[in-house]
Homo-oligomer: A and B are copies of this chain.
Amino acid sequence: MHRIINPPNFVSNYSLYGKEPVTDKKENILLAALQLFSNEGYNVVPTSKIAKQAGVSEGLIFKHFDNKKGLLDAIMEDAELRVNQVFAPVLFETDPIKTISKIIETPFNIREEEYNYWRLQFKLKWETEYYNPQKMKPIIDKLQWAFSELGYKDPQNEAELLSQIVESVSVNILREGLKSQLKFKSFLQQKYKV
């Protein structure tokens, strides 16, 4: 006879920054909520549905995250880290042409398993609060520097424009898939001569 041991606080993996151990059930809640929030919307998804999909009692959500908003906060913290990671190569680049080139490539480097994080970010833009227009500031500053170096007439507006284009392409990829935007990618590369 075997004894099936299933410790409730078994540590399955660690969060992105390894701050604290995450039990498998807690992880299940986070994943279920991410999927539901990003596809259906924060306001329309009841906590009961999250619990069901996570295979967990509803009460556990509140044990771990205090309230529904706390659950969203936890997810968004993760989301922000992942989004920053994708933009990081642009910030570290020292060559202006490569900077432009890399920002154009950015939306195409989003890993498919992270689409939901991005979708949630864009969605929450329209559910107030989580929207922070200053979030892209470092990127825009970097682009402005690059355009300046390359002798563009109006680097400020050029930077603003390109960052908007990149955002549009990101949204399009999320909606219609990566392949649909590939021709647009080379179009942009030609346009900016990179």
Contact = CB atoms under 8 A, between A and B. Distances in A.
Interface stretch (A10-18, A88-96, A139-147, A157-165): A157-165
A127 interface: yes
Contacts of A125: 126
A126 B133 contact: no
Nearest to A126: B123
Contacts of A127: 41
A38 to B, nearest CB: 10
Interface of A: 41, 43-44, 122-123, 125-127, 133, 154, 157, 160-161, 164-165, 167-168, 175-176, 183-184, 187, 190
Contact of A164 (B44, B168, B175, B190): B168
Copies per complex? 2
Given A157-B183, A165-B165, A187-B157, A175 B44 contact: no
21 contacts: A41-B43, A41-B126, A41-B127, A43-B44, A122-B126, A123-B126, A125-B126, A126-B126, A133-B175, A133-B176, A154-B187, A157-B183, A157-B184, A157-B187, A161-B184, A161-B187, A164-B164, A164-B165, A164-B168, A167-B168, A168-B168
B165 A161 contact: yes
A169 to B, nearest CB: 8
A187 B43 CA distance: 39
Contacts of A122: 126
Contacts of A154: 187, 190
A35 to B, nearest CB: 15
A186 B23 CA distance: 55
A184 B159 CA distance: 11
